[in-house]
């Protein structure tokens, strides 16, 4: 169990971390900082918030575990601001969905501040259509994958404690290097998003009534095209190189499918349909 | 109401037509022919089957409406076989998911046989993971789109009667020319299938444990990759040209997305994400 858990700039994920930690007894004391004063006032009234801090520096002073929960583009500045104020025993983590840059910067910054605190990134694969800490859910992480991404080789006990924390919240934890994390999510999360968005743009250029004739196939295949654009711009910026590589692989695949269809190569097309089916069947 | 409805070679769709017609009182008498004798024996025991015929010719003799329900590749031969045996008042339709070739062939064949019968294609956009008449469902068509695709200008009363039949079964009927039908379904149904299959092939070429880390986004986006390969080979063969055109549009879209990402053109990327979201939001 964590003694003091500090959560900075909670949105849906940060609020859910607080609620899950309280519901599952994963932290003794929960301290939260939010940028806007009116949010701090509202947070102070939540049963899963023991104390509200007026500054990030004050929030982290006694914390064993600090969870940074702002949008990915704001993580670096927050790390730099709190780094000199961390306890020697503190582990600093985040919940951003891209990891290489954040983990490199976090590790370097904490090493330079020489407090003894350690940075280890996290990425809980959870979320939904709703945003904001008000929509937090103590069961958000239950049964979901959470990546823990140590850069270099951090202290083994701290890594174990962070893994235990996410497990206590109900996650299935996978430990991988930050670079490999970014390659994996480029394929399993970011590529599907780009494909769904592009399919949506093709259909959106056709008469509107066409789409309304569609069955569930089109609806399922494009559901995530409805995701928030601002969040995805952040992800595209942070994981550009890996997404470009995954997109190239997808373009190759589509190109080969189209060439086989143009050449009436039914044997090749059947093999592609069957490989796709075998893979998808294995997912259920 | 149809007096005598004949259904030839029922699978999931044909069996569901019989059950829906009985449940909703859309036909007075239902006659069915199936190729295999043991299937005919089983059909004879169903409450939604009034008579089983030993041959397709016998099944259609007194029918006002004949529904051909075999795989698309078998429709043409069945049309040729029964054409001389249709009643003058008969309307012949099918439930195939591609229409231009079938409707051209059906119209020409019936005109040549000079019985007075009329061919008008149908495509009920219904189905699911299950196949076979045993899985038929009287509510399969409820609230679903059914295309009715007249080639040339058929007798207005017969077209109206066919539209009414599908409405009686619960469908929302859309009447379009066969060529336009094929262009529409290439985009709203066939393109998503090729994209889901190709995404499945990209993921299938990566370590198997990657996919198991994925959230619901990947699962939804690729759900239809699990569809039956044989059915899709038939569709790819029948609608090759339109699918090639839709695939080119999708390739262009992906290419532009990738170029914008390579060039860090965040304004363009945001516009694409937002257009995709606007389109998808309009679908719900």
| Rounded Cα distance, B32 and B10, in Å | 8
Distance from CA of B124 to the nearest CA of A (A): 10
Binding-face residues of A in 119-178 toward B, CB within 8 A:
125-126, 144-145, 147, 174
Cβ neighbours of A125 in B, within 8 Å = 213-215
| Rounded Cα distance, B148 and B159, in Å | 8
CA atoms within 13 A on the CB side of A153: 1
Contact A261 B227 (CB under 8 A): no
Please choose, from the candidates B84, B159, B90, B97, the residue with its C-alpha nearest in 3D space to the C-alpha of residue B125.
B97
Contact A227 B277 (CB under 8 A): yes
Reading the block at residue A254, the tokens are 């589509």
Q: Considering only the beta carbons, identify the residue of A226, A249, A258 that sits closest to B280.
A: A226
At A72-110, the pLDDT tens digits run 889 999 999 999 999 999 999 999 999 999 999 999 999
Residue A6 pairs in a beta bridge with A31, A66
Structure confidence at residue B125 (pLDDT): 92
| Rounded Cα distance, B22 and B139, in Å | 11
- Per-residue pLDDT 10s for chain B (284 aa) are 899 999 999 999 999 999 999 999 999 999 999 999 999 999 999 999 999 999 999 999 999 999 999 988 899 999 999 999 999 999 999 999 999 999 999 999 999 999 999 999 999 998 766 789 999 999 999 999 999 999 988 789 999 999 999 999 999 999 999 999 999 999 999 999 999 999 999 999 999 999 999 988 999 999 999 999 998 999 999 999 999 999 999 999 999 999 999 999 999 999 999 999 999 999 97
**A159, A165, A170, A175 alpha-carbon torsion, rounded to 10°:** -10
> Angle CA(B201)–CA(B205)–CA(B206) in degrees, nearest 5?
125
Q: What percent of chain A has pLDDT over 90?
A: 93
Q: What is the CA radius of gyration of chain B?
A: 21
Q: Are B100 and B125 in contact (CB under 8 A)?
A: no
Reading the block at residue A17, the tokens are 């971390």
Predicted-complex ipTM score: 0.89
B113 contact A CB<8A: no
> Which of the residues in chain A have pLDDT under 70?
128-129
Helix, strand or coil, per DSSP, at residue A276: helix
Which residue segments constitute the domains of chain B, with CATH numbers given?
Answer: 2-176 (3.40.50.720), 180-283 (1.10.3660.10)
Q: Considering only the beta carbons, identify the residue of A184, A200, A282 that sits closest to B276.
A: A200
At A178-215, the pLDDT tens digits run 999 999 999 999 999 999 999 999 999 999 999 999 98
Q: Considering only the beta carbons, identify the residue of A187, A223, A229 that sits closest to B270.
A: A229
| Rounded Cα distance, A15 and A95, in Å | 12
Which residue shows structure tokens 């009287």?
B138
């Amino acid at each position: 169990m964590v003694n003091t858990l500090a959560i900075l700039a909670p949105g849906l994920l940060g609020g859910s971390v607080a609620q899950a930690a309280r519901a599952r007894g994963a932290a003794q004391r929960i301290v939260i900082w939010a940028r806007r004063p009116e949010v701090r006032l509202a947070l102070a009234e939540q049963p899963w918030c023991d104390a509200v801090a007026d500054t990030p520096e004050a929030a982290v002073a006694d914390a064993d575990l600090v969870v940074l929960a702002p949008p990915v583009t704001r993580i670096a500045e927050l790390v730099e601001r709190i780094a000199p104020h961390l306890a020697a025993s503190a582990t600093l983590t985040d919940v951003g969905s891209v990891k290489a840059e954040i983990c490199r910067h976090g590790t370097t910054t904490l090493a330079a501040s020489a407090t003894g605190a350690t940075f280890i990134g996290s990425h809980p694969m959870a979320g939904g259509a709703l945003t904001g800490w008000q929509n937090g859910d103590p069961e958000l992480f239950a049964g979901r994958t959470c990546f823990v991404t140590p850069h270099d080789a951090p202290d083994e006990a701290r890594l174990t404690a962070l893994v235990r924390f996410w497990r206590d919240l109900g996650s299935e934890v996978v430990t991988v290097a930050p670079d490999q994390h970014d390659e994996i999510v480029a394929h399993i999360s970011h590529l599907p998003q780009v494909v769904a968005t592009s399919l949506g743009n093709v259909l959106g250029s056709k008469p509107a009534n066409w789409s309304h004739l569609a069955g569930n196939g089109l609806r399922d295949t494009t559901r995530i095209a409805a995701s928030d654009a601002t969040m995805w711009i952040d992800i595209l910026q942070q994981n550009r190189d890996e997404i470009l590589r995954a997109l190239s692989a997808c373009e190759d695949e589509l190109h080969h499918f189209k060439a086989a269809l143009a050449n009436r190569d039914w044997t090749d097309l059947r093999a592609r349909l069957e490989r796709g089916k075998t893979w998808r069947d294995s997912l259920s």
